[in-house]
A = this chain, B = another copy of it.
């Protein structure tokens, strides 16, 4: 039995998602996968930074935060996340801070510091992977550490691991998908007759869209995801400025209605493909017809279509967001690291 010491940075919605999965599944993970763990550190800008080498009581941590109380009673209080990452003992860092597509920070710095120390990292943070994948993956190799990020694209729905492992040996001519649930929900609502503004409001009311919805509706989120797919899965070398990006804010109810009359639907599609020996990518609303599987992916569901050279198209459909859904991606990443370290 291997017992991993886990440090969590970012104890927001997703952090609590993986926290509660680990809390609920401890015995199952032990008996089924020989995977045992202590969460030795938790750091959050709001709830504080605590460390206990003997293991923090996850139930208590979840309980405190649900009551909007700080984590201080649960361990030694440290000044901040970097102090925990640099100075404490742990095996795996779960980096779950918010995505920043300008600088990648604070996730970028967190991941670098952990990898430099030879600590394994699993992250759901799109910024560092979209902006600095090559640097970070080289740093991981140099320090004999593992870097995993299934949750950066479609949360726990398998996409990255599937492409790199299950579809190993295939070459991809194109990867395209509905990579953002919020915009897909808005477009689905517009098909029912709502205006863009009404549909956005409904998405905000249901918690699918933020008060400031730009990251979703302007296509930034989908862009980060298609960059990750292009660079990690297709071997591209794409940066932010290489990707033409159009969101859905320009789509009117007339556009949606005209598409319907033509038997089509508008979808916000992220697409990466090979052209002239290079990998290219774009994000834009596209009209799709019923022969295209993306046509049938409605509401907050996401989907990715891999076009392969050997077995044709492989499509994966699943939820692309949510506390448990994104939290689970960190579990699948840890179990993958565990399989590798123990030779399965």
A85 close to B (CB within 8 Å): no
- With A161-B166, A169-B331 as contacts: A318 and B325 at CB distance below 8 Å: no
Q: Are B293 and A336 in contact (CB under 8 A)?
A: no
> Interface residues of A, CB < 8 Å — how many?
45
Once the chains bind, are A315 and B312 in contact (CB under 8 Å)?
Answer: no
Q: Are A166 and B332 in contact (CB under 8 A)?
A: yes
What's the Cα separation between A311 and B154 when bound, in Å?
11
Given the interface contacts A158-B162, A169-B328, A311-B328, does A344 sit within 8 Å of B340 by beta carbon? yes
A276 interface residue, CB < 8 Å from B? no
Q: Does A41 contact B (CB under 8 A)?
A: no
Q: Taking CB as reference atom, which chain B residue is nearest A334?
A: B169
The residue on B at minimum CB distance from A157 is B314
Q: Tell which of B157, B167, B169, B344 touches A33, judged by Cβ atoms closer than 8 Å.
A: B169
A128-183, CB < 8 A from B? 150, 155-158, 161-162, 165-171
- Write the A1-36 contact mask toward B (1 if CB under 8 angstroms, else 0): 000000000000000000001000100110001000
Q: Which residues of A contact B (CB under 8 A)?
A: 21, 25, 28-29, 33, 150, 155-158, 161-162, 165-171, 290, 293, 296, 310-319, 322, 324-325, 328, 331-332, 335-336, 339-341, 343-344
